[in-house]
Amino acid sequence: MSHTFHLDNQVAVVTGACGKLGPIWIEALLDAGARVAALDLSGAPGSGAYDALAKRAGDRVRRFDCDITDRVSIEAAANGVVAAMGEPAVLVNNAGVDQPPDSAGTRHHLQDLPVDQFRRMVDVNVVGTFQVTQVFGGRMAAAGGGSIINIGSLYASVSPDAHFYDHLPGNAPFIKSPAYGASKAAVVNLSRYFATHWAGQGVRVNTLSPGGVLGGQDDQFKAKYGSRVPLGRMAGPSDLMGPLVFLASAASSYVTGHELRVDGGFTAW
């Protein structure tokens, strides 16, 4: 691998470290040579994937409590990271609220979707990402450089296909919340805003938007989804790692304000 893809001894911050995608980003950063500050809510259980990574990496991974909806909590986490590991050069804004199709008895028709659920998703996915970028990105700008990768979604660009879920039983058809795609579209634009604002301080800001990622989905869903993707399948962890390291490293030194869709061609149709 060219040295331009290396992150040797750089400090990288990953929010939502214990979630579905967090361990994927952490593993990619570790393999590229970085030391990783893993941020998540206090008391959030470590997933099997995260725990295995942390055990393997030893002191190259350190966990810090952080609630991305609380500015004081973010600032405390930033101070803790700097004191324990040094100034971060990479930030992966991964923490967010998704909606897995597993709530068969508590669904709502679109016209009855509670607005509080909508607000919560926007608060975490948009306002949370904004605040973390303010705090950690502000430090990068003051230090003269860094790379921020905001995790988007293919649903920042297209609407979810309800037919993917119409085989699921329940009191109402499952619908992916309209707040999810709306919030991820906002994240894409937020990335462009910070990219242009901090370019003069050497901070690059991009969005990585994955398509559907394998993670325990039922066979019918996987078949339906795969048939809609030009490459014919859902993404696996290894499909996401290279794109993340590209955006985090000097390999993308002239890339900022960009949305990199890693979706198997889903949005090309």
Angle, vertex CA 255, rays to CA 151 and CA 91, nearest 5: 40
Residue 76, amino acid: A
**DSSP label of 105:** T
For 39, the token pair is: 């941020």
Sign of the Cα pseudo-torsion (201, 184, 77, 247, in order) = negative
- The catalytically annotated residue of 50, 155, 180, 225 is 180
**CB of 145 within 8 A of CB of 201?**
yes
Residue among 182, 84, 69 at smallest CA distance from 131: 69
Residue 65, beta-bridge partner list: 40
Contacts of 210 (CB under 8 A, 6+ apart): 21, 151, 152, 153, 154, 235, 240, 262, 263
Q: In the annotation, is 180 catalytic?
A: yes
Cα–Cα distance for residue pair 198/254, rounded to 1 Å: 14
Residues forming the active site:
180
